[in-house]
Amino acid sequence: MKNTWWTRLAAGAAAVVVAGGIGLTAIRADGAPALAWDAAWSAAPQLPSIGFEPNWAEQGFDNQTVRQVVRITDGGSAARITLSNQYGDHALRIGRATVARTAQGAAVDPNSLRDLTFHGNRTINISAGGTLTSDAADLPLAPFDSVTVTLYLSGPTGPATFHSQAYASSYRADGDHVADAAADPFTAVTHSWYYLTDVQVSGAPDAETRSTVVTFGDSITDGFGSVNDTNTRYPDHLAQRLAAAGIPRTVLNEGIGGNLILHDSAWFGESGVARLERDVLSKPDVKSVIVLGGLNDLGFSEVDLPTYKPNPQVSVQQLIDGHRRLIAAAHDAGVRIIGATLLPMKGAEYYTATSAAKIREFNEWMRTSGEYDAVADFNAAVADPFDSEKLNPAFDSGDHKHPNGAGYQAMAAAVDLNAL
């Protein structure tokens, strides 16, 4: 094993983290408290909905255990989680919760299994519309570790706040199995995350020099077209590229499939301009955000489907004005903001002469206006060299709109790392 900072930290974790009243408190060499938290993983919460494949959001849970696996992009000696009941209609009771390093599937490393407490309590209620962050758990984690969070939901939850398109497996068991290391009780599977919105870490030696990059957008940021449980979304590739370049950064994925820049949607979340503060600017140590959004704003009006409502005609100027609101909000918060060109989509369900012309006009503004701090030309990175209106067939997931894993890798390669 390499003598990296996290292997040294894991070997000496007991020396840097001690029990202290509520949760755990990190101690500096001079004895002063020094528990500072860095973002490691995040997902945007959504209203319960049917989604594009079966999930448990609308039915919720009752005397069941939910086990969820996420991959972090920062490490440390301690971890904590945030749970959201933002869209719940009554208080959410957490009967018990644990965190652990993932073994495989629903199994966890038994030596890493830690109980989580909330204000010192194992059992807690989260009010309707509320969020709650756990106390710290002594758990050494390395960048790119997979982390398993397990929640026992002891009573009826009602519809569950969730993230629809996780492209990762979540597991369910009847009864209380939060302390089970084995996968056996977890016989039901979906590809959504429930209640879990953040994993944070503390205790990394380089924490003061690390910064967070947030990727913000719709299903192309969320990872539609990537293979479940492979971590091949474009933000995943970007985090790996930064690490390989020797400039590791936490990379958070705040995409929501179907999301719009200008309008709220029951299926696809609050608009980009409405959720920027919650999903980007409020995260720890955010220094830059990459915005990819507008394809749905321009395309939904071309198709009359219930799931695409609201779908008013949106002009290019209206979309640009929405992006200007994002730029202004980021700059007000001291955050660098990188814009991205919209991808080609010839052959997709809402490709028409009208939407294609709007995409070209918007991308011209993106490339030439200078209003964003930098531009990632994702369109050029994935376009068919023989027809710029189409995705390169080598990068097409099959719907002519969303890239596959190779396409997402090409997008990550198009980001100027110096711009971050």
Kindly report which listed range (4-8, 97-101, 103-107) carries the lowest average pLDDT score.
4-8
Of 65, 68, 73, 16, residue with least CA distance to 40: 73
Q: Flag whether pLDDT at 5 surpasses 70.
A: no
pLDDT of res. 232: 98
Which CATH architecture best describes the domain 211-419?
3-Layer(aba) Sandwich (3.40)
Round to whole Å and give the CA distance between 321 and 111.
Answer: 52
- Calculate mean pLDDT across residues 89-102: 97
pLDDT in tens, 270-295: 999 999 999 999 999 999 999 999 99
pLDDT at position 7 over 70? no
Share of the chain above pLDDT 90, in %: 87
Q: Is the pLDDT of residue 31 over 70?
A: no
Q: Are 130 and 94 in contact (CB under 8 A)?
A: no
Q: How confident is the model at residue 167 (pLDDT cuts 50, 70, 90)?
A: very high
Instruction: Please list, in sequence order, all residues whose beta carbon lies within 8 angstroms of the beta carbon of residue 319, skipping any fewer than 6 positions away.
Output: 261, 262, 294, 297, 298, 358, 362
Say what percent of the chain tops pLDDT 70: 91
Query: Which stretch of 28-37, 240-249, 262-271, 347-356 has the lowest confidence by average pLDDT?
Result: 28-37
Mean pLDDT, the chain, rounded, equals 92
**pLDDT for residue 373 is more than 50:** yes
pLDDT average, residue stretch 332-357: 97
Mean pLDDT of 14-43: 53
pLDDT band at 158 (very low <50, low <70, confident <90, very high): very high
Lookup: tokens for 334:
């001291």
Whether residue 369 is predicted with pLDDT greater than 50 in this model: the reply is: yes
Residue 275 neighbours by CB under 8 Å, 6+ apart:
44, 269
pLDDT computed for residue 13 by the predictor: 37
Mean pLDDT, rounded, for 317-327: 98
Per-residue pLDDT, averaged over 184-207, amounts to 92
| pLDDT at residue 207, rounded to an integer | 60
The structural domains of the chain, with segments of one domain joined by +, span 5-199, 211-419
Residue 206: which pLDDT band, with cuts at 50, 70 and 90? low
User: Is 410 or 36 the better-scoring residue by pLDDT?
Assistant: 410
Instruction: Report d(CA 75, CA 203) in Å as an integer.
Output: 8
pTM of the model: 0.92
- Residue-level pLDDT at 324: 98
pLDDT at 209: 61
